[in-house]
Amino acid sequence: MDLNKTTLSGQIYDILRQDILTQRIRLGEKLTLKHLQERFGVSSTPIREALTRLAEEELVVSYSNIGVNVISIGEQDLKELYEFMGDLDALAILYTSHYPDQEKVQKALAENIHYTEKVLETESLTEEEIRTWTGYSDHFHLIFYDYCANSRLARAAGKQRSQLTIFSNMYEASLQHQREIERGHLKIYGAYLQKDYQLAASLMKEHLNTSLSYAMEYLFQCHCL
């Protein structure tokens, strides 16, 4: 594989991260330095740097000095992940409610909702449309971190979101799930516009709990348990 020699570790990190998030590299799979050196045609140094970043993001765990394992996620892990993300997203809503320019927040939410609603008016989506819709759907949550004015909260959520993305990439490809997710976002958006921030936060937790049920379906389907 041809790589730009000036940013080797960054490119390897991006490629491996995307492979894990889309499950081209499966949960629990071993990644050896030897195999990765053969794949990328580079020395072990940039590969180790890339694997260190993935470990910091909690997408891989080291099993020896010759490689890593992609994380394994069980039923309890998944429950904890979605419950924690629900709590963090809800807290981000409450923090964002104190942002001085609420019109700016509402505009960002409205633009996001407008796009995702419009896309789902069609009966089926292309792969490219699914990827774009998923990006906007995920960004609905991130808007609240953009305006929460708490970098520690944003970092804590960012560290966990990568694991969650492994599963959301799978269930958000379903049109039925897309429409149910959209309905959840609309409820949260409506409560936020009415300045009922506690309700919006509660609806966010409920929304993540619904997403957990979709993630569980995938966990059983891929025999990860």
* pLDDT single digits (tens) 125-148: 788 888 889 899 999 999 999 999
Q: Give the C-alpha separation, 203 to 63, whole Å.
A: 40
* pLDDT single digits (tens) 69-126: 999 999 999 999 999 999 999 999 999 999 999 999 999 999 999 999 988 887 777 8
The pLDDT of residue 4 is above 80: no
Which pLDDT belongs to residue 5?
55
Strand ordering across the sheet containing 30-32:
30-32, 67-70, 60-64
Q: Give the C-alpha separation, 138 to 1, whole Å.
A: 31
Q: Give the C-alpha separation, 161 to 153, whole Å.
A: 12
Residue 166 buriedness (CB in 10 A; 0-12 / 13-18 / 19+): buried
Say which CATH topology domain 5-70 has: Arc Repressor Mutant, subunit A (1.10.10)
The pLDDT of residue 154 is above 70: yes
| Helix (H/G/I), strand (E/B), else coil: 68 | strand
Proportion of the chain in helix, strand, coil states, percent, rounded to 5 = 70, 5, 20
Which pLDDT belongs to residue 35?
95
The pLDDT of residue 39 is above 90: yes
The pLDDT of residue 224 is above 60: no
Between 218 and 153, name the one with better pLDDT.
Answer: 153
Instruction: Give the predicted TM-score (pTM) of the model.
Output: 0.87
Q: What does the pLDDT average to over 196-208?
A: 99
> Domain-by-domain residue ranges, the chain?
5-70, 75-221
Q: Answer yes or no: same fold for 5-70 and 75-221.
A: no
Which pLDDT belongs to residue 53?
94
Confidence of residue 52 (pLDDT cuts 50, 70, 90): very high
Pick among 1.20.120, 1.10.3470, 3.40.1130, 1.25.40: CATH of 75-221: 1.20.120
Q: Which residues contact 24 (CB under 8 A, 6 or more apart)?
A: 18
Q: Give the C-alpha separation, 18 to 137, whole Å.
A: 18
Q: What does the pLDDT average to over 30-34?
A: 95
Q: What does the pLDDT average to over 171-177?
A: 86
Between the alpha carbon of residue 171 and those of residues 18, 72, 124, 134, 218, the distances in Å are 17, 18, 15, 10, 7
Which pLDDT belongs to residue 144?
99
| Helix (H/G/I), strand (E/B), else coil: 194 | coil
The pLDDT of residue 223 is above 70: no
Give the angle 83-89-91 at the CA atoms, nearest 5°: 105
Long-range CB pairs of 206-211 (<8 Å, 24+ gap) are 207/86, 207/181, 208/82, 208/83, 208/85, 208/86, 208/89, 209/82, 209/83, 209/86, 210/180, 210/181, 210/184, 211/82, 211/168, 211/171, 211/181
The two three-digit tokens of residue 105, written as one number: 């927040």
Q: What does the pLDDT average to over 189-208?
A: 99
Confidence of residue 170 (pLDDT cuts 50, 70, 90): confident
